Amino acid sequence: MSDLLLESRDGDVVTLRLNDPDKLNAMSREMGLAFRDVVGRLALDDSIRAVVLTGVGRAFSAGGDLQMLQDQADAGAAAPGRAWRGIRDEMSRFYRLFLSIRDLPCPTIAALNGAAIGAGFCVALGCDFRLVAHEAKLGLNFTRVGVHPGMAATWNLPRLVGPGLAAELLYTSRLVEGDEAVRVGLANRAMPRDEVLGAAQAAAAEIAANAPLAVRAVKQALRRSETSSLEDQLQFEASEQAKNFESADAHEGLAAIREKRAPRFQGR
């Protein structure tokens, strides 16, 4: 695995750390390839019950690597009207390296220990929820750099904060701090910087203590609800409940209630 991404495991919880602190964890293609490969491997491991994503140093990620962006700008300026298809395809591939975080079947938590800007914030928005440091600066500064937002910014943001505030944040490139991020729905909780990772790992452990088959099905349900009708979603819920009632975990959960003890789920 590349040194640009660190991986550790505690029980059923994996923590991934973006690791280029001298560049504020700027997102390069090399980092993205390592990220995609690790996420692809984790997605096949049914024993993993939650993943925490954070950054090493004082930032979560300051966004796309500046040299990569300059190279695209130079290519566009050198062949206007002709280079855009190649640039489009390259950027689309780049987005998908980091948005592979959405492919994990288990819940994902972004621990925003510091600045999460541009593409860096986009990958955090790809996680299921976010915990943030009070002083962290968060935002999608694409228009201030002179480019259109990418990496699903215009898809994720309206779903989290509504169309009006999404428009304001995307048009102005305004940054918000942790407490405002919580108020508007970009993050779940704000806290001192040195508590963010521990809080995210504690939340992941809380998730990991629940029935993994049910938790993974909830993640599927939440994702499909983005495009499903109420009736379709009800049918999906009934189907997943029926599957769960066949599992040993459902019997264990009910037994634990009757016996007034913590359940011991096996994921089967």
- What integer pLDDT is reported at residue 110 of this predicted model? 98
| Predicted TM-score (pTM) of this structure | 0.93
d(CA 228, CA 97): 26
Residue 115 pLDDT > 80: yes
Edge-first strand listing for the sheet containing 176-177? 59-61, 115-117, 137-139, 176-177
| pLDDT tens by residue, 29-43 | 999 999 999 999 999
Could you tell me which residue, 266 or 230, shows the higher pLDDT? 230
> What Å distances lie between residue 19 and 26, 232, 262, CA to CA?
9, 42, 37
**How do beta strands 176-177 and 137-139 pair?**
antiparallel
Tokens of 115: 């600045």
Q: Is 80 exceeded by the pLDDT of residue 148?
A: yes
Of 5-19, 90-104, 245-259, the poorest mean pLDDT is in: 245-259
Domains located in the chain, CATH noted: 5-208 (3.90.226.10), 212-259 (1.10.12)
Q: Is there a contact between 53 and 101 (Cβ–Cβ < 8 Å)? A: yes
Q: Per residue in 77-90, pLDDT tens?
A: 888 888 878 878 88
**Whole-number pLDDT of residue 91:** 85
DSSP, residue by residue, 52-119: EEEESSSEEE--B-HHHHHHHHHHHHHSTTTSHHHHHHHHHHHHHHHHGGGG-SS-EEEEE-SEEETH
Average pLDDT on 164-175 reads 97
Assign 1 a pLDDT band (cuts: 50, 70, 90).
Answer: low
